[in-house]
């Protein structure tokens, strides 16, 4: 009985002690729950703050874009007005050009006729020049015969040398010396150009400079001198300006094709372009004569691209003054 009472007391005490322990566990669970909720709330608050900051930035960007849109709208309105003004001016210019073209058609016809007359005059000068070349060669041959006759005198012949022959020798030697000096001068100023671009040679008339098509007209057949070709012509003009008494012939050539008229027109256009460049670099235009030879004097007969470049050359012939020598031969 005593043990039963003790057991009942123990059970009672155990029951009394279990009630606070259960409440404590429940409170601890509640505390844990609210701690989790508090952490979640803090996280949500941080997200809200970040979203608010992003919203403020977006709002500022929006306001900036709105102002930019307003500015662009105003600019667009201004551009539209300017465009309309340009269109009106363009239409006015077109109308004016049409009136000018209609008014100058007669003048254009006159210019074409004048150009034809000048071309005819140029052809006459070329024929006269060819005759003069023949005359120079004939008189040079006569001079050589005179020199030979003087050299073949008997060894015992002590007569006074013929004054006329001596004069001819002196004048010819002076011309040869002038040609040598010219060639040397051209070689110095054109030292940066290879011989396949600029070839310098002595001729009976003076000094011939052969400029390749690749140097002068690398952009095609439009008659526009290439920048490197202009550099070469500028150097050539230096020598020509330093020798103002010498006449200059600019002779254009073209690669021969089936269209002889087009070949002649192309060679003439190129010769005129080169002569214009020389004049622009300070050479007196009155000293210059430009002419085209078409495809009548090709260097090679092949039809490949290299042959076309070789044949499409331009020759600048610097003529020595043979007038005193010709007078002595008369």
Contact predicate 240/318, CB 8 Å: yes
Q: Where are the domains of the chain?
A: 20-111, 169-329
Structure tokens at 41: 């709330």
Look at residue 157 in the predicted model and tell me its pLDDT.
Answer: 42
pLDDT at 236: 95
As a whole number of angstroms, the distance between CA 208 and CA 203 comes to 7
Q: Are 147 and 166 in contact (CB under 8 A)?
A: no
Looking at residue 324, what is its pLDDT?
Answer: 54
Residue 225 — φ and ψ, nearest 5°? -75, 130
169-329: CATH topology is 60s Ribosomal Protein L30; Chain: A; (3.30.1330)
Sorted by sequence, the CB contacts under 8 Å of residue 136 that are 6+ apart come out as 204, 205, 322, 326
pLDDT reported for residue 218: 73
Q: What is the pLDDT of residue 243?
A: 93
Angle between helices 227-242 and 260-280 (to 10 degrees): 60
The structure tokens 């103002």 sit at: 244
- Here the tokens at position 7 are 């057991």
Is pTM beyond 0.85? Reply is: no
Helices (H), the chain: 2-151, 163-189, 213-216, 227-242, 260-280, 305-311, 323-329
Q: What is the mean pLDDT of each run of 10 residues along the chain (330 residues)?
A: 54 53 74 77 82 85 86 84 83 74 57 59 64 67 65 48 66 84 93 92 91 83 84 95 93 88 90 94 93 88 75 92 57
């Amino acid at each position: 009985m005593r043990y039963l009472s003790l057991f009942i007391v123990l059970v009672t005490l155990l029951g009394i002690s279990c009630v606070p322990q259960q409440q404590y566990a429940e409170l601890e669970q509640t505390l844990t729950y609210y701690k989790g909720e508090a952490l979640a709330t803090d996280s949500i608050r941080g997200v809200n703050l970040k979203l608010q900051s992003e919203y403020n930035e977006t709002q500022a960007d929006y306001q900036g874009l709105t102002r930019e849109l307003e500015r662009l709208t105003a600019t667009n309105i201004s551009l539209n007005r300017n465009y309309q003004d340009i269109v009106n001016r363009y239409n006015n210019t077109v109308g004016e050009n049409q009136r000018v073209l209609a008014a100058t058609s007669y003048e254009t016809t006159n210019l074409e006729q004048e150009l034809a007359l000048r071309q005819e005059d140029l052809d006459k000068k070329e024929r006269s020049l060819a005759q003069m070349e023949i005359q120079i060669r004939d008189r040079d041959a006569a001079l050589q015969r005179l020199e030979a006759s003087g050299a073949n005198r008997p060894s015992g012949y002590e007569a006074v040398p013929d004054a006329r022959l001596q004069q001819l020798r002196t004048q010819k030697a002076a011309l040869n010396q002038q040609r040598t000096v010219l060639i040397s001068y051209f070689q110095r100023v054109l030292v940066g150009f290879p011989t396949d671009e600029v070839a310098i040679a002595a001729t009976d008339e003076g000094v011939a400079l052969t400029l390749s098509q690749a140097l002068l007209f690398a952009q095609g057949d439009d008659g526009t001198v290439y920048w490197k070709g202009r550099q070469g012509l500028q150097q050539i003009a230096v020598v020509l300006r330093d020798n103002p008494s010498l006449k200059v012939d600019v002779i254009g050539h073209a690669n021969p094709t089936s269209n002889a008229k087009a070949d002649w027109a192309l060679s003439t256009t190129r010769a005129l372009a080169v002569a214009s460049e020389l004049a622009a670099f300070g050479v007196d235009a009155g000293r210059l004569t430009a002419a085209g030879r078409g495809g009548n004097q090709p260097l090679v007969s092949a039809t490949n691209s290299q042959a076309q470049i070789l044949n499409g050359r331009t020759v600048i012939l610097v003529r020595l003054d043979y007038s005193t020598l010709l007078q002595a031969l008369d």
